[in-house]
Chains A and B, each alone.
Chain A
Amino acid sequence: MTGRIGIEALNVHAGFAQLSTAELFEGRGLDRERIGHLMMRARSIALPCEDPITNAVNAAAPIVNRLAPQDKERIELILASSESGVDFSKSITSYVHEFMGLSRKCRVMEVKQACYAATGALQIAAGYLASGVSPGAKALVIATDVSMVDARAGYAEPATGTGASAMLLGDDPRVLALDLGAFGAHAYETMDSARPMPDHDIADVDGSLFAYLDCLSNSFADYCGKVSDVDLRTTFDQLALHTPFAGLVKAAHRKLMREQARATPDAVEADFAARVSPSLVYPSQVGNLCSGSVYLALASLIDNAPYRGTARVGLFSYGSGCASEFFSGLIDEGSRAALAELDIAGRLNARIPLSFAEYTELLAENSRCLVPIENRKIEVERYRRFLDARPDGREPVLAYRGTEGYHRTYEWV
């Protein structure tokens, strides 16, 4: 058995364009009083030359390109989690494997369970690495999705993002050392939200939010059943939760604190500010990244929480349908240094702001992203000003240039 297993590197790619929450509320005529509970500032918007594959590659490339050749060769497993599949058979991962130039001696597959799937993939990968059957092996887990919401989604439209979170797992967990075996799961069948067609999401708002909250209580209870002497208030220095919108995380924290600590409203508010709010800085600028969301929250807290020394993080992942997990791990000041190399905040700030009119023009083209079309052409040059605005402009990014005989084609820009 290996000792420490966890996340060696973590990166998030959240697109090249953004739309402010205020602009979207104004454009749709939504009630501005609701922005307070939504707790969102902006959301990432995709370009037609982006898809789940470019998102995955553009999140993973800064990690993989920094690896020494002998370390890159040790990536033996790639799992892409997505609810934005591009084919019923061929996985997103097969394209990612090619564009990352990874070893052909590699397990390659895609997994799906709505916004939970990346955590399931991470635990499966961690279990493989911890088994010791291939000492020194590494795994790449990438959560990648694109948004399919429009005006029909109501108040979910301002909260939905696009992009990918990529994680390299191994036995040198510079970002997060997993507490192996410390987890709690809760799953059952429910129809709270789904993507029954490649261009349309459906959601039962109350059904989904209430299932999320039930799952948080139940997966935490399962965690407490497996780990001795857990105290919500003292065991975890920081918390990072799946973030459909930041306001729900605040309500979820309040629920758990009431149940577990019988905390007063003032105590809940202070605890939220200290242990949870650092995890919401990036999600409130990006929107829901689906299964990458909790890892965007983790990146946010590492970059923004004033922790010192070693800190234990409690993480909660929820995916409609539904499946959930509460688990934990350790971060330290090296985690902050590891993330700083990738400058997630700098790339979020570099996203070009869109007007509402520009956004609605993109919507029609973006809605075709996952629709199976035999041949299609995308003029990448039309979006060059967005792609060139990135602060790390010397590193090439992958763009989708169309489909030929159902084979998706790409180019490095």
Chain B
Amino acid sequence: MPQRSDTDRAAVTRLVHETVAAVLPQVPAEQITGDKHLKDLGADSVDRVEIIMALIDALGVREPMAGFSTVPDIDALIDFLVEVKQR
């Protein structure tokens, strides 16, 4: 049986992919890979703000946006969101 954290990570991963696709509809789904920063996908600063705001909103968490400014790639973004959600 999968651990709860695995389930959470799968759900958060799906949410991140859906959110990125909604804000950046021109990016093919296969290009949204964990090793990329949002900048690598062509997200400008306003896109990045929109993606982080939407993720915080969708997960119903209260987390300062400043905490997201140093995540190096999408994998780290997902890890951080899972951590925040489980607090």
Contact = CB atoms under 8 A, between A and B. Distances in A.
Interface of A: 34, 37, 155, 190, 204-207, 209-211, 213-214, 247-248, 250-251, 254-255, 258
Contact of A205 (B45, B47, B50, B66): B45
Given A210-B52, A254-B53, A204 B69 contact: yes
A37 B45 CA distance: 9
Interface of B is mostly: helix
Given A205-B45, A248-B49, 5 more contacts: A37-B47, A190-B66, A211-B69, A213-B53, A255-B53
Contacts of A214: 64-66
26 contacts: A37-B45, A37-B47, A155-B44, A190-B66, A204-B69, A206-B45, A206-B69, A207-B69, A209-B45, A209-B48, A209-B49, A210-B49, A210-B52, A210-B66, A211-B65, A211-B66, A211-B69, A213-B49, A213-B53, A213-B65, A248-B46, A250-B46, A251-B46, A251-B53, A254-B53, A255-B49
Contacts of A34: 44
Interface in B18-53: 44-50, 52-53
Nearest to B38: A206
Contact of B66 (A37, A207, A248, A258): A207
A303 B12 CA distance: 46
B46 A247 contact: yes
Interface of B: 44-50, 52-53, 57, 64-66, 68-70
A150 to B, nearest CB: 19
B72 to A, nearest CB: 11
A324 to B, nearest CB: 12
A206 B68 contact: yes
Shortest beta-carbon contacts, A-B, top 4: A210-B65, A37-B46, A206-B69, A207-B69
B85 to A, nearest CB: 18
Contacts of B68: 206, 210
Nearest to A250: B46
